[in-house]
Amino acid sequence: MSKSTSSLYKRLSAGLLLAVGGITQPALAAPHCDEIVQFKPGTRSAVKSGTISGYEVVDYCLWGRAGQRLSAQVYGATDIDAFVYTLDADADLSTHRHVIKKNGYVVVRVAQMRAKARMSKRPKPYQIGFSLH
């Protein structure tokens, strides 16, 4: 085998490994998000900060496994709510935990109530805490 053919085989096999390995990486399958939430090793919770105004929404994505329970709590203004949605269910996280039905990304949406959003011109600061058990 010539040196150029050997080099070609090495590049093709390296590209194939990257392509096959990339398919299983959860980061590549993430839906559109404003921010991806990652937990530090050994922890089951994370806190993010942000601001929101008017009808703006902020989407946070995190990876979960089937059967895990997700909860989120928004701290800050009283008119900011957190909603979770997945492909198979919608749930209001301010009232209960969401049980993840299948492995994959879960999107947590932060938004203001409609009446408050209509009057809100200035950005309101908030923090959101995520817990996954």
Residue-level pLDDT, tens digit, the chain, 133 residues: 555 444 434 443 333 333 333 333 444 456 788 999 999 999 999 999 999 888 888 999 999 999 999 988 888 777 777 665 655 566 666 666 788 888 988 888 888 878 777 887 788 888 999 999 8
* Amino acid (one-letter) located at 75: Y
* pLDDT the model gives residue 27: 46
Q: Give CA–CA dist 24/11, Å, rounded.
A: 21
Q: What pLDDT was estimated at residue 31?
A: 75
pLDDT of amino acid 6: 47
Instruction: Give the whole-angstrom CA distance, residue 47 versus residue 27.
Output: 20
Environment class of residue 83 by beta-carbon count within 10 Å: exposed (0-12), middle (13-18) or buried (19+)?
middle
Q: Calculate the dihedral angle through the C-alpha atoms of 122, 92, 49, 34, rounding to the nearest 10 degrees.
A: -90
Q: What is the pTM of this model?
A: 0.70
SS (H, E, C) 29-74: HCCCCCEECCCCCCCCEEEEEEEECCCCEEEEEEEECCCCEEEEEE
What is the pLDDT, as a whole number, of residue 66?
Answer: 92
